[in-house]
């Protein structure tokens, strides 16, 4: 009796082998004494794109490689072939594509922030006496040896008597310019959202109920993903915003991978874009493959709703609704505490 041999389409077979090859444990072959850790970033100037780009040595999150957006002209043939097989169309060179970092794409550095002279202030505070204090991102100590100096902005007087900027002495030779961008890893997850249900003052015994729902406003991405941003601002806590509009916690967890610094030759004009004469340095924040897990969605144990009572009816209740939800209001603080205790913020850890 002849046995039937299963036949697999070559495209299916190649796709399966390609997926398995990325997930198998890496083979360690000693090529030199220098070991390159995961997430190592190597910047380089691209004549093709006319800008600074970088490559990332693959790192994994829960055994899965992240993806990152780049231009088709900077993507590898492996990326373009995969997209063509998936969509039936080969991307144009100026088209944005999502490449897996195991496919060795070149990634544009994108927008950068200025550090030192010419930088924008991070914050501005006014004291009780009317004095103004301005804070800037400090120049890393490493770059001081190259002549980069901190930006300073000093005011004389106060808001009551009048303010005048104190001009600082300019150096004889223009110092080098320092710019930077951050590379950040994101993992999508569900989020907790605080909803406000308004009551009917004629039928209900409450004016509003605050309830917590879990979900997403957009479909979650299947893979972790990297983004390049001028300056990464970690989210410390849920931003309540306006309770009447709902206050979700972020629908992702993020961790900074590295900061890329660009330093110019002395005397470089500040209004000119970066070119190949600039030098690059990288400060890495992650050195190992990562695991990630979000918080477990709390059990559906009944939660006593937070009720806001006005004691009034009709439009009068709405007119004082906002005052009941002011930051100093007990109901607001209670709602904020509930949301913080029941959000789904996850954590990363290294292997």
DSSP code per residue over 191-239: EEEEEEEE--TTT-S-SEEEEEEEE-SSPPPSS-EEEEESS-----S--
How high is the pLDDT of residue 231?
Answer: 94
How high is the pLDDT of residue 102?
Answer: 94
pLDDT digits over 272-316, tens only? 999 999 999 999 999 999 999 988 776 654 445 455 555 555 444
* Res. 263: pLDDT tops 90: yes
The two beta strands, 252-263 and 132-135, are unpaired
Q: Are residues 133 and 271 in the same domain?
A: no
In a domain, 46, yes or no: no
* Res. 34: pLDDT tops 80: no
pTM exceeds 0.75 for this model: no
pLDDT band, residue 42 (cuts 50/70/90) = very high
Main-chain phi, psi angles of 132, to 5 degrees: -110, 130
In a domain, 29, yes or no: no
For the ranges 20-24, 204-208, 309-313, the lowest mean pLDDT is seen at: 309-313
In a domain, 55, yes or no: no
Q: Are residues 200 and 313 in the same domain?
A: yes
* Res. 73: pLDDT tops 80: yes
Q: Are residues 156 and 191 in the same domain?
A: no
Q: Are residues 239 and 256 in the same domain?
A: yes
The two beta strands, 347-350 and 51-56, are unpaired
Q: Is 38 helix (H, G, I), strand (E, B) or coil?
A: coil
**Domain termination residue (choose one: 139, 174, 209):** 174
Tell me the percentage of the chain whose pLDDT exceeds 90.
39
In this predicted model, which residue has the larger pLDDT, 116 or 100?
100
Burial class of residue 54 in the structure, from the number of CB atoms within 10 Å of its CB (0-12 exposed, 13-18 middle, 19+ buried) = buried
For residues 235-247, average pLDDT: 51
DSSP code per residue over 198-211: E--TTT-S-SEEEE
For the ranges 33-42, 248-257, 301-310, the lowest mean pLDDT is seen at: 301-310
Q: Is 21 helix (H, G, I), strand (E, B) or coil?
A: helix
In a domain, 202, yes or no: yes
How high is the pLDDT of residue 96?
Answer: 94
* Res. 271: pLDDT tops 80: yes
Rounded to 10 degrees, what is the CA torsion of 312, 314, 315, 316? -20
How high is the pLDDT of residue 174?
Answer: 80
Contact criterion met (CB below 8 Å) for 51 and 73: no
For residues 321-350, average pLDDT: 63
Contact criterion met (CB below 8 Å) for 209 and 197: yes
How high is the pLDDT of residue 302?
Answer: 47
pLDDT digits over 155-174, tens only? 555 555 555 555 566 666 78
Contact criterion met (CB below 8 Å) for 76 and 99: yes
Please provide the average confidence, as pLDDT, over all residues in the chain: 77
How high is the pLDDT of residue 15?
Answer: 77
How high is the pLDDT of residue 32?
Answer: 55
Q: Are residues 224 and 328 in the same domain?
A: yes
Main-chain phi, psi angles of 236, to 5 degrees: -80, -40
As for how many domains the chain has, the answer is 2
In a domain, 104, yes or no: no
For the ranges 35-39, 212-216, 308-312, the lowest mean pLDDT is seen at: 308-312
In a domain, 294, yes or no: yes
**Domain termination residue (choose one: 130, 148, 174):** 174
In a domain, 319, yes or no: yes
Residue numbers of the domain that contains 138: 118-174
């Amino acid at each position: 009796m002849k046995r039937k041999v299963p036949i697999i389409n070559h495209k299916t077979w190649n796709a399966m082998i390609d997926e398995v090859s990325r997930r198998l444990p890496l083979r360690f072959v000693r090529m030199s004494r220098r070991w390159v850790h995961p997430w190592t970033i190597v910047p380089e100037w691209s004549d093709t794109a006319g800008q600074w780009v970088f490559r990332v040595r693959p790192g994994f999150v829960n055994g899965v490689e992240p993806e990152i957006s780049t231009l088709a002209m900077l993507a590898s043939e492996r990326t373009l072939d995969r997209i063509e097989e998936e969509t039936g169309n080969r991307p144009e060179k100026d088209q944005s594509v999502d490449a897996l970092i195991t496919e060795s794409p070149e990634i544009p550095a994108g927008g950068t922030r200025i550090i030192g002279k010419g930088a924008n202030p991070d914050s501005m505070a006014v004291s009780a006496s009317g004095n103004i204090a301005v804070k800037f991102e400090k120049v890393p100590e490493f770059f001081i040896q190259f002549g980069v100096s901190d930006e300073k902005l000093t005011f004389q007087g106060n808001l009551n008597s009048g303010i005048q900027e104190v001009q600082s002495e300019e150096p004889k030779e223009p110092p080098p310019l320092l710019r930077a961008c951050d590379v950040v890893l994101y993992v999508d997850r569900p989020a907790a959202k605080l909803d406000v249900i308004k009551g009917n003052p004629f039928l209900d015994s409450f004016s509003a109920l605050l309830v917590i729902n879990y979900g997403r406003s957009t479909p979650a991405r299947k893979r972790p993903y990297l983004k390049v941003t001028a300056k990464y601002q970690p989210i410390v806590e849920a931003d309540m915003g306006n309770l009447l509009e709902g206050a979700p916690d972020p629908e992702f967890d993020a961790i900074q991978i590295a900061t890329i610094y660009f330093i110019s030759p002395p005397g470089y004009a500040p209004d000119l874009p970066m070119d190949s004469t600039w030098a690059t340095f990288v400060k890495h924040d992650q050195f190992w493959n990562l695991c990630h897990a979000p918080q477990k969605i709390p059990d559906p144990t009944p939660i006593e709703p937070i009720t806001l009572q006005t004691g009034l009816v009709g439009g009068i209740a709405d007119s004082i609704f906002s005052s009941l939800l002011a930051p100093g209001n007990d109901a607001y603080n209670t709602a904020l505490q509930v949301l913080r205790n029941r959000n789904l913020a996850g954590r990363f850890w290294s292997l």
